[in-house]
Structures are given as structure tokens and as C-alpha cells.
Amino acid sequence: MFVNSYNVRTFAPNLKQGIFNPVRMRINTFKRVAFTILFLSVFSFGFANETKDGGDDEKFDPKEMILHHVKDAYGMQIATFNEGKDSEFHLTIPLPVITYTDKGLTVFSSSAFHHDYHGHEIVERNGQRFVNVHEKVYILDSGANQVTFDAEDHPTNAHRPKFDFSITRNVFMMWVSIAVLLLIFLSAARRYKKSENYVPSGIASFVEPLIVFVRDEIGKPMIGEHKYKRYMPYLLTIFFFIWINNIFGLIPILNGANLSGNIAFTFTLAAITFIITTLSGNKNYWKHIFWMPGVPVPMKIFLMPIEIIGMFVKPISLMIRLFANITAGHVIILALMSLIFVFKSYAIAPVSVAFSLFITVIEVIVTAIQAYIFTILSALYFGMATEEEH
Amino acid sequence: MDLITPELGLVFWTLVTFLILLFILRKFAWKPILGAVSDREEGIKDALASAEKARQEMENLTADNERILQEARAEREAMLKDARDVKNKMIADAKDEAQAQASKIIEQAQLAIESEKKAAMAELKSHVAGLSLDIAEKVVRDELSNKDKQLKLVEDMLGEATLN
């Protein structure tokens, strides 16, 4: 029985996604196309760079641009005016860089780097020399005055600080997102307190269907009528936390603060799901991992390592799924936009805009789907951990 | 490779932020909202159940009324039937009694007539006997005087005394 249910459950997400199949297929097709374009363009431009060595102006590198947008950064850059001219002006929210090394805690504003992320600007603080190399803070080795790079563009004479707890743009956007979440849900909760007979009004009538959806479509069926209540706060929190950050990642003016497409973020949430699953695992759960009932002994021995691997694979799949889906969405949109600069033609702009609009609309759906999938799978794992013998 | 290496700093901030968010929302949002929703659902369920119960009761009441009415009707019917029966019986009884009484009276009358008749016959007999004796006496006396006359007398007498 467990084997069957396990299989069903493992494939359940696919079934659940079944309704979105046409959309997903299209997404996949577009991902493939976009990646092909991306790789082709990167390759050809690498080639072009080689041939045109020592060219006058800086070549547009879509790969660097996309990675720069998808990855974390120390400052919250909103816009750049008059780029490349003397009057270049960056509209940026400076954020604190916080490092901890043997020399203690060092805190300084990211504006000290002056928007440089190529390791040129050296910031001296607390007896250490900091440089920003591709949005990663490095400390120059003693005696070095300038960063030198190896063939793969890694600094050779600088090292990462022991701990880097900087309030990066992802952390900043995360705080903005929780401020929004708190604003929405605390005011919704207040509505209930005020209203008689618990009739929802205002914002409460907007969030209630969503909350009831998480309860009735995720919590109850996946965990079971009797035990779901314990897990509801967690499920609701991750659902809305992931969803709102997915949405924030799509807002262009926020410069693609790609929090939910950052592996550190998905890793943390997946790790929490894993910890909760492991802690709430009952006797039945562990028995199914270490000594599968209902199968012959050689099979039990054979299944044990598979089940143990499965224990870890489940949260890892959660981590990668969210990260890859959101990052891929950003990459596609940015790649489509890069086409304008790659071809250096306004004529391509309508095509780029049309395609990226199309992908953005799909991404809006994906924001909700991915939050839903992460939540429903977490609930599924909790349900498996707490399932009673039958 | 950078892209798929979790940064410790962001992991730390995510963890801290998420736990704070979870704690605050759990205490100040999820609990009151879920509580309100489930309370409301309970309320609706209760209201529906009580409405259903009221309806059931109403139905029972109607059924009871119907039954009582039915019973009353049946009772009235039975009572009427009883009354009719009693009436018929009384009439029949009265008839029978009257019949019996009449027969009895008739019988008595007959008996009386019979006895009167008997008495009358007895009187008549004794009268006839007396008359016969008288006749015999006269006859005998006449005979003793005149034989022819005696005979004639007897004959006359006999002619006179035709029995009715």
C-alpha cells in the first residue's frame, strides 16, 4: 500500500500540474528557444570580442547583464541616466554592507563602491580593503593595492570575508515584502475582530478565499482532517511569502530583485520544510524509510538506501524547482530584452517587447503556481510524515 | 556556479526574516483569521442544522396534526356507527318485545276464550241436561196421561228443541 501511495504521491505534483500542461509546455518550449538564443548570442559575442580585440567601445554582453540582474547585489539600483558619459547618474538605494572577519564587524554603505562591481573601487574600512567583484565583497590581501584576476575572472589576491551578512537588495526586498504581507494580513485580521459574526469585509474578503484555498485545497487533503491545523501557519506563511516575492521579482522598476529565484532563499525554505518533516515524522514514517513493511526482506534492504536518499531529495527538489523556475523566467525576459541591444536595432524592439510581455504574463501565472507547488509539496511531505498505519 | 551556491548571508537573513514573519503572522493573522473562518463555518453549519431540525419538527407536527385529525374522524365515524347500531338494536329489541308481548296477549286471550268457551259449553251442557230432564219429566208425565199425546208432545218438543 505504501509503495503505491508513495508512487502516486511522487507523481501527484505532475498530476496537479496537469491542468497547466499546455501553458507549461509552452513555457518549456520558450525556455528552450530563449536559452538557445542566449547561448548562441553569448558564443557569438565571445567570438566577436576575440576578433575585435582592443575595440573602442565596450561590447554589450547579454550574459553578464542577465547574470548581474538575476544575482544579488549590494545596492538597490533603480535606474542609470546618461550611461557612459561624464554626467552618469545612478538612482540607487544604498544598502549596508556588513562583514565579519577576524578584525571584527565592519559596516559601511554600499554607496562607497560608487556602483563599481569590477573590483576597481577600493574601500578602506577597519584596516581592511574591500572591493566589489561582481557583487561579491572581497578583502584585498595585505600589501595588494589592486585586484588581479585569473583567466576565469576570479580575484587572485583577494579573499571573501569570513561572514558576509550584508543587507543586499534581496534582503531589502524581502523586508519590503514582509512589510507588505504584514500590512495586508494584520489589517485583514483586524477586520475580523471589528466585524460582527466574523463577516469578512474590505481586504479580508480579498484574502479570505486565498486562505481558505490553502486550507481546503492544500492543508486538508494533503495532511488530513485531524492534523492539518498544526501546519496551517507554516503553509500559509510560505505560500504568501513565496508568492509575493515571486511577484516582486517581476516588477521591472525593482530591477529584478530575484529573491525567490535565489538558491539561498529556496534552500532556506526547503530546509525548514525538511526540518519540520523530519521532526514530525512518526513511527510509521520511519518504519517506511528503514524497514518497508509488506515487502520481502531483500527488498527491504534494497529500499532502505533509496528511501533515505528520497528523504533528502524531496527538499532538494523543492529548492531547485522554485529557484530554476523563477530564475529561468527572469532569464527569458532579460534575454528577449537583450535582443534589442544584441541586434542594435529598434526594429527588433516590438518583437522583443511582445515576446517578453507574453512571457511576463505567463510568469504572473507561474508566480502563483510555483508558490502553490512549493506549499502543496511541503504539505504532502508533512502528510507523509504524520500518516498513520492503515 | 555563483548562481547555484547559496550565500550564507542571504540564508541567514531569510531564516531570521521568515521565522519572524511566521511568528507574527501566526499569532496576529492566521490564528484570528482561521479562527474567524472556522467559527463562521461552525455557525453556518449550526444554523443549517437547527433550521433542518425545525423543519423536521414542523413536519412532525404537521404529521401529528394530520394523524390526530384522522383519529378524530375515525372516532366520530365509529361513534356514529355505534349509535346507529344501538338505535337499530333498540328498535329491533323493541319490536321483538312488542311481538312477544302481543303474542303473549293473544295467547292469553285465546286461553281466556277457550276457558270461556269451555265454561259456556259446560253451562250449556248443564242447561241442556236440565232441559232434557224437564222434557223427560213432562214427557213422562204426558205419557202417563195420553199415549198419543205424549208421543205428539215428544215430537213437538223435539221439534222445538232443535239444537240451534
ipTM for this model: 0.80
Picking from B11, B30, B36, the nearest residue to A232 by CB comes out as B30
Residue with more model confidence, A7 or A88: A88
Q: What local confidence, expressed as pLDDT, does residue A308 receive?
A: 94
What confidence tier does A237 reach under pLDDT thresholds 50, 70, 90? Answer: very high
Q: What local confidence, expressed as pLDDT, does residue A47 receive?
A: 37
Whether the per-residue pLDDT at A161 is higher than 50: the answer is yes
- Show Cβ contacts of residue A384 under 8 Å, excluding neighbours closer than 6 positions: A6, A9, A277, A285
**Count of domains in chain A?**
2
What confidence tier does A29 reach under pLDDT thresholds 50, 70, 90? Answer: low
SS3 for A234-283 is HHHHHHHHHHHHHHHHHCHHHCCCCCCCCHHHHHHHHHHHHHHHHHHCCH
Q: Are residues A281 and A339 in the same domain?
A: yes
Q: What is the C-alpha separation between A376 and A23, in angstroms, rounded?
A: 20
Q: Are residues A129 and A233 in the same domain?
A: no
Contact present, A376 and A218 (Cβ < 8 Å): yes
Torsion on CA atoms A231, A233, A236, A240, rounded to nearest 10: -140
Q: What local confidence, expressed as pLDDT, does residue B1 receive?
A: 62
**Is residue A234 less than 8 Å (CB to CB) from chain B?**
yes
Pick the range with the lowest mean pLDDT from A150-164, A233-247, A280-294, A326-340: A150-164
Q: Are residues A336 and A211 in the same domain?
A: yes
Hey, are the CB atoms on B14 and A168 less than 8 Å from each other? Answer: no
Phi, psi of A226 (to 5 degrees): -90, -30
Hey, are the CB atoms on B40 and A168 less than 8 Å from each other? Answer: no
Whether the per-residue pLDDT at A55 is higher than 80: the answer is no
Taking alpha carbons only, the member of A182, A159, A215, A329 closest to residue A261 is: A329
| Residue A98 covered by a domain | yes
Q: What local confidence, expressed as pLDDT, does residue A232 receive?
A: 94
| Residue A81 covered by a domain | no
Whether the per-residue pLDDT at A11 is higher than 50: the answer is no
Burial class of residue A32 in the structure, from the number of CB atoms within 10 Å of its CB (0-12 exposed, 13-18 middle, 19+ buried): exposed
What confidence tier does A201 reach under pLDDT thresholds 50, 70, 90? Answer: confident
Q: State how beta strands A158-159 and A128-132 pair.
A: unpaired
Q: What is the C-alpha separation between A357 and A355, in angstroms, rounded?
A: 5
Q: Are residues A252 and A281 in the same domain?
A: yes
Q: Are residues A208 and A345 in the same domain?
A: yes
Mean pLDDT of A173-201: 87
Q: What local confidence, expressed as pLDDT, does residue A3 receive?
A: 39
| Residue A79 covered by a domain | no
Residue with more model confidence, A254 or A220: A220
Q: How many interface pairs between A and B have CB atoms less than 8 angstroms apart? A: 124
The mean of the pLDDT values for chain A is: 81
Q: Could you give the percent of chain A with pLDDT greater than 70? A: 84
Residue with more model confidence, A20 or A338: A338
What confidence tier does A24 reach under pLDDT thresholds 50, 70, 90? Answer: very low
| Residue A124 covered by a domain | yes
Mean pLDDT of A32-38: 51
Whether the per-residue pLDDT at A210 is higher than 90: the answer is yes
What confidence tier does B163 reach under pLDDT thresholds 50, 70, 90? Answer: low
Mean pLDDT of A38-45: 42
Q: What is the C-alpha separation between A86 and A93, in angstroms, rounded?
A: 21
In chain B, residues with a C-beta closer than 8 Å to the C-beta of A178 are 17, 20-21
Mapped onto helix, strand or coil, the DSSP state of residue A129 is strand
Q: What local confidence, expressed as pLDDT, does residue A82 receive?
A: 77
Q: Are residues A349 and A367 in the same domain?
A: yes
Q: State how beta strands A123-125 and A128-132 pair.
A: antiparallel
Whether the per-residue pLDDT at A30 is higher than 50: the answer is yes
Q: What is the C-alpha separation between A20 and A24, in angstroms, rounded?
A: 6
Q: Could you give the percent of chain A with pLDDT greater than 90? A: 35
Q: What local confidence, expressed as pLDDT, does residue A309 receive?
A: 95
Amino acid at B77: E
Q: What local confidence, expressed as pLDDT, does residue A223 receive?
A: 92
Whether the per-residue pLDDT at A7 is higher than 60: the answer is no
Q: What local confidence, expressed as pLDDT, does residue A41 receive?
A: 42
Amino acid at A281: G
Hey, are the CB atoms on A268 and B18 less than 8 Å from each other? Answer: yes
A167, A192, A209 - which closes a domain: A167
Q: What is the C-alpha separation between A60 and A48, in angstroms, rounded?
A: 11
A167, A188, A214 - which closes a domain: A167
Q: Are residues A153 and A191 in the same domain?
A: no
The mean of the pLDDT values for chain B is: 88
Q: What local confidence, expressed as pLDDT, does residue B150 receive?
A: 67
Q: Could you give the percent of chain B with pLDDT greater than 70? A: 94
In chain B, residues with a C-beta closer than 8 Å to the C-beta of A263 are 3-6
Whether the per-residue pLDDT at A216 is higher than 90: the answer is yes
Residue with more model confidence, A183 or A16: A183
Q: Are residues A294 and A174 in the same domain?
A: yes
Mapped onto helix, strand or coil, the DSSP state of residue A75 is coil
Q: Are residues A181 and A111 in the same domain?
A: no
Picking from B10, B22, B40, the nearest residue to A265 by CB comes out as B10
Q: What local confidence, expressed as pLDDT, does residue B143 receive?
A: 64
Whether the per-residue pLDDT at A205 is higher than 90: the answer is no
Taking alpha carbons only, the member of A137, A105, A136 closest to residue A123 is: A137
| Residue A270 covered by a domain | yes
Which residues 47-86 of A are in CB contact (within 8 Å) with B? 67, 70-72
The side-by-side arrangement of strands in the sheet containing A163-164 is A104-109, A96-101, A163-164
Q: What is the pLDDT of residues B7-21, one digit of tens each?
A: 889 999 999 999 999
What confidence tier does A178 reach under pLDDT thresholds 50, 70, 90? Answer: very high
| Residue A322 covered by a domain | yes
Picking from B5, B17, B25, the nearest residue to A174 by CB comes out as B17
Q: What is the C-alpha separation between B15 and B23, in angstroms, rounded?
A: 12
Taking alpha carbons only, the member of B25, B15, B21, B9 closest to residue A269 is: B15
Pick the range with the lowest mean pLDDT from A14-18, A32-36, B106-110: A14-18
Q: Are residues A346 and A201 in the same domain?
A: yes
Q: What local confidence, expressed as pLDDT, does residue A40 receive?
A: 44
Q: What local confidence, expressed as pLDDT, does residue B3 receive?
A: 80
Q: Are residues A240 and A382 in the same domain?
A: yes
Amino acid at A34: A
CA A178, A181, A186, A189 dihedral sign is: negative
In chain B, residues with a C-beta closer than 8 Å to the C-beta of A174 are 13-14, 17
Q: What is the pLDDT of residues B125-162, one digit of tens each?
A: 888 888 888 888 887 776 667 677 767 777 887 888 76
Q: Are residues A189 and A95 in the same domain?
A: no
Residue with more model confidence, A251 or A5: A251
Q: What local confidence, expressed as pLDDT, does residue B128 receive?
A: 85
Domain span at residue A144?
86-167
Picking from A174, A204, A234, the nearest residue to B13 by CB comes out as A174
C-alpha to C-alpha distances, A27 to A334, A356, B8, B100, nearest whole angstrom? 15, 12, 31, 116
What confidence tier does A8 reach under pLDDT thresholds 50, 70, 90? Answer: very low
Whether the per-residue pLDDT at A99 is higher than 70: the answer is yes
Whether the per-residue pLDDT at B80 is higher than 90: the answer is yes
A150, A167, A184 - which closes a domain: A167
Taking alpha carbons only, the member of A216, A234, A210 closest to residue A381 is: A234
Mean pLDDT of A4-26: 42
What confidence tier does A204 reach under pLDDT thresholds 50, 70, 90? Answer: confident
Q: What local confidence, expressed as pLDDT, does residue B151 receive?
A: 74
Q: What is the C-alpha separation between A175 and A93, in angstroms, rounded?
A: 14
| Residue A117 covered by a domain | yes
Q: What is the C-alpha separation between A29 and A36, in angstroms, rounded?
A: 11
| Residue A47 covered by a domain | no
